[in-house]
Amino acid sequence: MTIVTVRRVAVLGSGVIGTSIALALRHRGVHVDLADRDPAVVAEAVRLGAGQAWADGAPPADVVVIATPPSAVVTVLREAQRLRMGTVYTDVASAKAQIIALAELTGCDLAAYVPGHPMGGRELSGPSAARADLFIGRPWALCPHPATGRATLRAVTDLVALCGAEPRLIPAEVHDRAVAAVSHAPHLVSCAIAAHFQETDQATLSLAGKGLQDMTRIAAGAPHLWRDILQHNAGQVAAVLETIVADLSQAAAALRGCDPGARDALNDLLVRGARGHRQIAEQRGPSPVEQLGPDTPDVLEIG
Amino acid sequence: MTIVTVRRVAVLGSGVIGTSIALALRHRGVHVDLADRDPAVVAEAVRLGAGQAWADGAPPADVVVIATPPSAVVTVLREAQRLRMGTVYTDVASAKAQIIALAELTGCDLAAYVPGHPMGGRELSGPSAARADLFIGRPWALCPHPATGRATLRAVTDLVALCGAEPRLIPAEVHDRAVAAVSHAPHLVSCAIAAHFQETDQATLSLAGKGLQDMTRIAAGAPHLWRDILQHNAGQVAAVLETIVADLSQAAAALRGCDPGARDALNDLLVRGARGHRQIAEQRGPSPVEQLGPDTPDVLEIG
């Protein structure tokens, strides 16, 4: 697959996601300029081979990737468009509808912007946690606005393919509801389990095994970044948490024997859980997009 | 390490735990007799090399391992002691206090019984899911009764060592509280997350990644077995669930913006979760027991 639309990329934000994208693009021979509000972080990313530090007078990028926390995306987008840093813009924030609404409100050029979200990540942060293969075979959601131009979408789809990921076109609201269920609410649930062990005794911890480790792995994520993410998808995440709380409250009542009718609730939750597990385990993503047509992005449209 | 106290073992119950113990013992040259209420399951375990089918007139075992679901343990223990199937008895149920109380009540010979719980397991069930290495390096809780004899404890400790596991002496109540936190409550939480995906759309599932898989893996456990386990540790599990429900309810309220004071609760949960994760990740079990003294079981006493 030869991709000619993406030869020069600017990555704004050199955290684990931005640096991973930069490393993946460098492996495919793309020129990458890196920027971050913290010069030390850019220096680290440069040292890791992720590209070179962005400098005044750099030629405009084919694609500008905004890899900041969600709350900074629109400010950075507007400033980057004002400075004409590139032809096409995308971001990587894990909640989309609120960012799109703010980009509309503040007069960003939406024809040149594709809201995006690579569905890969690590619970570690910073450029040193970056990996060139982080997105290989992973879905990468794209939520184009009605105003988004075809060539704009094409360029961002090409960038996704260069990172080895699978572009998925999905409406922002559908995306946000889905990630609330598969990622954002589970993050808080993982925290609630892990929080229980903050000051636990050694006797308890010494009996822990892989089950607990798996259930608490994602709780390691940086709290300030996660607060930002969750506040950008607040209603959808709250809705998922409320169904989980209802199930667990019923289970606790059944175990307390408070409610004779609740005994069935325990069994019901165990059965539904095992069925849900099967659904998740059986899920196989579609095969990678191998060839994109000249005009029509041949990406899976979902939602 | 030469272990002379355990040369012949009877394993009653040929599920994944019983058959894994039998396989581990066979690898160390121990004679193993197998029994199960379902002859087809015994036949499968025999075929896998876990031992031979128990037959009337078999010589008494040095240790009888009761590897049934919790609700069958005391009935099987009493019957096995009545038949004089062995010298020493242990079980593998994952909740202990209720079983010990019932064994006392029904007049089991407690001097010859060590309540036990190997802290290894699989979400799969049946003899075909058994593995000889399931317990290697894993803790194996032993909750001896005040009436338990020294030689009895010694024999069971030797059996644990033959399986490659690390014996831990722990009071039954401390054990039950610990496993409620590290295993039983997380199982229901995993079910509550997985249940959300029972009838979900493909769009949502196609965005799921390793985080969701990890959070829902243990939900695959057999519902009837888990109901039995949970009902044997009901109060302790309910207490853990109630703290998790409180944390998640507060987080949902914070996200709904219902309560201005609740905004801090979201950050607090994320910070406590990350700290709890560190506690869990830093936990290292003590090194394997390499040598047991001739009389005193050199096992870690916790609680």
Look at residue B264 in the predicted model and tell me its pLDDT. 86
Residue of B nearest to A142 (CA): B207
- Of the candidates A213, A240, A249, the beta carbon closest to that of B245 is on A249
Distance of CA A152 to the CA centre of its chain: 20
B9, B77 contact by CB (below 8 A)? no
**Structure tokens of A146?**
């009605």
Look at residue A2 in the predicted model and tell me its pLDDT. 54
Backbone angles phi, psi at A241, to 5 degrees: -60, -40
B45 vs B49: CA distance, rounded Å: 7
Is it the case that residue B5 has pLDDT exceeding 50? yes
A87 vs A97: CA distance, rounded Å: 23
Q: What is the dihedral of CA B32, B35, B38, B40, to 10 degrees?
A: 30
pLDDT band at B184 (very low <50, low <70, confident <90, very high): very high
Flag if B203 and A237 touch (Cβ within 8 Å).
Answer: no
Q: In a 10 Å sphere around its CB, with 0-12 CB exposed, 13-18 middle and 19+ buried, how is residue B243 labelled?
A: middle
Q: What is the value of pTM for the model shown?
A: 0.89
Distance from CA of B180 to the nearest CA of A (A): 10
Distance from CA of A131 to the nearest CA of B (A): 16
Q: In chain A, which residues have their Cβ closer than 8 Å to the Cβ of B124?
A: none
Look at residue B199 in the predicted model and tell me its pLDDT. 84
Backbone angles phi, psi at B64, to 5 degrees: -105, 120
A12 vs A34: CA distance, rounded Å: 6
Distance from CA of A98 to the nearest CA of B (A): 14
Q: Which uninterrupted H or E stretch holds A116?
A: strand A116-118
- Asked whether the CA dihedral A163, A165, A171, A175 is positive or negative, the reply is negative
pLDDT band at B282 (very low <50, low <70, confident <90, very high): confident
Point out which residues pair with A31 in neighbouring strands. A8
Look at residue B297 in the predicted model and tell me its pLDDT. 40
Which amino acid is residue B245, in one-letter code?
V
B196 vs B189: CA distance, rounded Å: 11
Point out which residues pair with B9 in neighbouring strands. B32, B63
B262 vs B225: CA distance, rounded Å: 39
Distance of CA B171 to the CA centre of its chain: 15
- Of the candidates A240, A252, A302, the beta carbon closest to that of B241 is on A252
Look at residue A202 in the predicted model and tell me its pLDDT. 83
Q: In chain B, which residues have their Cβ closer than 8 Å to the Cβ of A300?
A: 206
Flag if B242 and A252 touch (Cβ within 8 Å).
Answer: yes
How much of chain B exceeds pLDDT 90, in percent?
Answer: 82
Residue of A nearest to B267 (CA): A227
| Selected residue of B206, B242, B249 to mutate for chain A interface (largest A Cβ count, 10 A) | B206
Look at residue A300 in the predicted model and tell me its pLDDT. 47
pLDDT band at B2 (very low <50, low <70, confident <90, very high): low
Write down the ipTM of this complex: 0.88
- Of the candidates A121, A206, A269, the beta carbon closest to that of B195 is on A269
A16, A126 contact by CB (below 8 A)? yes
How much of chain B exceeds pLDDT 70, in percent?
Answer: 90
- Asked whether the CA dihedral B64, B68, B74, B76 is positive or negative, the reply is negative
**Structure tokens of A289?**
């997009």
Flag if A277 and B192 touch (Cβ within 8 Å).
Answer: no
Residues of chain A scoring pLDDT < 70: 1-4, 258-262, 284-303
The residue assigned the tokens 């090409």 is A158
Look at residue A283 in the predicted model and tell me its pLDDT. 76
- Which whole-number Å values give the CA distances from A148 to A293, B243, B251, in the listed order? 18, 46, 35
Flag if B237 and A231 touch (Cβ within 8 Å).
Answer: no
B211, A183 contact by CB (below 8 A)? yes
Flag if A188 and B219 touch (Cβ within 8 Å).
Answer: no
Q: In chain B, which residues have their Cβ closer than 8 Å to the Cβ of A199?
A: 279
Look at residue B122 in the predicted model and tell me its pLDDT. 77
- Of the candidates B212, B256, B275, the beta carbon closest to that of A182 is on B212
Look at residue A124 in the predicted model and tell me its pLDDT. 82
pLDDT band at B219 (very low <50, low <70, confident <90, very high): very high
Look at residue A258 in the predicted model and tell me its pLDDT. 67
Look at residue A25 in the predicted model and tell me its pLDDT. 98
pLDDT tens-place string over residues B45-56: 999 999 999 999
- Who wins on pLDDT, A4 or B88? B88
Look at residue B258 in the predicted model and tell me its pLDDT. 67
